[in-house]
Structure 1
């Protein structure tokens, strides 16, 4: 993985990216001048799930490569701000529980599922979901039933297995 920083125009904040060798973003943060931060692991009221949709070219002059440690320090600060919500989510969704939600977005890591509780996000394997689901159901808003299998502490997501799209939008 590579870690990039991009200082935008005044008022646009500082953007941070974790990208793979092909330039695909896996995590992203935008620190605004007023100290507010938007992270790719949490749904934002205005920007939804913000993650670069196209590969980034790390060679572009406006990107500055930074260390993994610098990125992780900033990411960790944001995780700490959401720790109360994350602990609540883990209590609400213990491992082995059957859950219901709906498709929110598709990320390189998998399909994000809104678990219908504040700040509760699940993730499931997109290829497994596609193999069992009609194409016309693989869209945001379609209901998903799954089982909690573990937790992704890096993104504060609930890991879901045996996920099924049940064929009707929320």
Structure 2
């Protein structure tokens, strides 16, 4: 992985990216000028799940290459603000729990799922359910059920397995 920083324009904060060798972003975080964070692991009321949708060309002059340590420090500072909620999520959703929710977004990691009742984000392996799911259901807001398999500590996501997608769309 490669790590980059960018300060696009005054008032837009400082942007940090973790990208793979093809330029696909896996994690992204913005420290806004007021000190608040917008991170790709958590839904933001205005920016949804903020993650670059196209490849990032790290040779562009506006990107500054940074160390993994610098990126992880910024990422960790944001994660720590949600430690209490994350601990509660893991307590409420032990491995083996059946959950329901809906598709939020598709990331390089897999499918992000909003888990209903717990205000938690789940991650499902897209390839594991895509073959048995009609393509017209492979869109945000389609309802799902799944089983908790484990936890992604790096993103504070609940790892899901045995994912099933349904024709119904979440309307709440």
TM-score in same-fold range (> 0.5):
yes
Deviations 1:80-138 (A, max 9, x none): 00111101111111100111000000000000000024540000011112111000000
1:6-57 deviation line (CA, Å, top 9, x unaligned): 0110001100000000000000001111001100000001110000000000
Q: 1-side partners of 2:29 and 2:133: how far apart?
A: 32
Q: How does 1:20-99 map to 2 (within 5 A)?
A: 20-99=20-99
Secondary structure, counterpart of 2:80 in structure 1 = helix
Q: 1:68 to 1:119 in 2, by over 3 A?
A: farther
2:159 is aligned with 1:156: no
CA RMSD of aligned residues (A): 0.8
**Structure 1: which 5+ residue stretches go unaligned?**
none
- For 2:121 and 2:43, the matched residues in 1 are separated by 9
Corresponding residue number in structure 1 for 2:144: 144
Specify the SS of the correspondent of 2:103: strand
Structure 2, unpaired ranges of 5+: none
How many residue pairs get aligned? The number is 170
Which aligned runs of 4 or more in structure 1 are off by greater than 2 angstroms?
Answer: none
Aligned-partner Cα distance in 2 for 1:101–1:77 = 28
Q: What TM-score comes out, normalization by structure 2 length?
A: 0.97
Cα distance change, pair 144–37 in 1 and its aligned pair in 2 (3 A): same
Distance 2:80 2:8 in 1: 26
Rounded Cα–Cα distance in structure 1 between residues aligned with 2:25 and 2:50: 10
